[in-house]
Amino acid sequence: YPAGFVYIFLGLYYATGHGTDIRLAQYLFAGLYLLNLLLVFRIYCRTNKVPPYVFFFMCCASYRIHSIFVLRLFNDPVAMAILFLAINLFLEEHWSWGCLFFSLAVSVKMNILLFAPGLLFLLLQRFGLLGGIPKLCICALLQVVLGLPFLMVNPMGYLTRSFDLGRQFQFKWTVNWRFLPEEVFHNRAFHATLLLAHLTGLGLFALHRWHRSKESILALLKDPAERKHASPPLTANNILWQASCVCPLNASAQIVFVLFSSNFLGICCSRSLHYQFYVWYFHTLPYLLWCTPTAKLAHMPKVLLLGVIELCWNTYPSTVCSSLSLHICHGLVLLQLWYGTAPPPVPHTPAPSRRPAAISKKAQ
């Protein structure tokens, strides 16, 4: 793991009497769990997309999440709590501080890099290329500072082991690919296919769902002051569109949508998901399901989808049925994200009539 993990768990090691006071460690992780919920709730309150009753499922209905936090004491929830703090800072327009804490989360566990494509898009959208470089330097500089004691001794060993992109996972722990033969699971061609699918998904979402301007996506490289900010005219067609099956996202919701969907695309194309990886996206699922308009009768299928995903993660060891069901659920979430956040249709403007329009008596 990267250096941030070493420092945090070294502190826990000494705080718990060289790792002997397990009860104290569980109390500390219970506090982390409550802090994590507070940060997530704050994000959801800013976006105002998720109905309040869904928070019950987030707090009380996941045995697996409680186990990851308070029983297993994994580093995954530590990284995610810092990540949610960074997102809160982004929503408050504290982008430099947000990048600092985002990089700190990466230094605890590498899975936070799944949010990186979305963050890069937001930085370019907000600051342009030249304005975004200082923010990216903050992320890189913190990694160098935290890893300096290790980089000075064995730089290649630290980089290759802390950020091991070629890590080979064990088939017995996989939650999402149990239905495949083990030889296919370990095949490098299969891994390359997943990487290609991941990059393709990111490209499609960036071009057609994250980028909402009429300009080319290359306009993100410009300074924001030099771009055309042509908002669509407020016509009857646009008003009807905003009230129909797709919804325009406000500024806070757009930031969260880009980051959460970036991470979810990585989850869907992951080479393997282990049981502790559930915390990587559990707290983002309600937003991903409810960020699109929901009819009254459509709430129950979304709750059912949350329940099936939870059931898949609580099936140990995973089975062909549980892993297939998990992929089906992920596919359904992706479909409703794609079709539920579609850009508005081009308004049809009728050709002007040659005959002057009759003036009504009221207008006279």
If DSSP states are collapsed to H, E and C, what string results for 1-64?
A: CCHHHHHHHHHHHHHCCCCCCHHHHHHHHHHHHHHHHHHHHHHHHHHCCCCCCHHHHHHHCCHH
Condensed to tens digits (0 to 9), the pLDDT of residues 185-236 reads 999 999 999 999 999 999 999 999 999 878 888 888 888 888 776 444 444 4
> Is residue 154 over pLDDT 90?
yes
Residue 16 has phi, psi (to 5 degrees) of -105, 25
Residues 343-351: contacts with CB under 8 Å, at least 24 apart: 343/208, 343/209, 343/212, 344/232, 344/238, 344/241, 344/242, 344/246, 344/248, 345/237, 345/241, 347/232, 347/233, 347/235, 347/237, 347/238, 348/237, 349/235
Q: Name which of 31-40, 161-170, 319-328 the model is least confident about.
A: 161-170
The whole-angstrom separation of Cα 81 and Cα 109 is 12
> Is residue 82 over pLDDT 60?
yes
Condensed to tens digits (0 to 9), the pLDDT of residues 43-75 reads 999 998 899 888 888 888 888 999 999 999 999
Q: Is 57 exposed, middle or buried (0-12, 13-18, 19+ CB in 10 A)?
A: middle
**Structure pTM?**
0.89
The whole-angstrom separation of Cα 70 and Cα 72 is 6
Largest CA-CA distance found in the chain, in angstroms, rounded: 89
**What's the DSSP call for residue 200?**
H
pLDDT attached to residue 241: 42
pLDDT attached to residue 249: 61
Condensed to tens digits (0 to 9), the pLDDT of residues 253-271 reads 999 999 999 999 999 999 9
The whole-angstrom separation of Cα 90 and Cα 355 is 54
Mean residue pLDDT across the chain: 88
Residue ranges covered by each domain of the chain: 3-225+246-339
pLDDT attached to residue 221: 87
317 preceded by a cis bond (ω within 30 of 0) = yes
Compute the radius of gyration of the chain from its Cα atoms: 23
Mean pLDDT of 306-328: 95
pLDDT attached to residue 295: 74
Q: Which residues contact 312 (CB under 8 A, 6 or more apart)?
A: 175, 318, 322, 323, 325, 326, 329
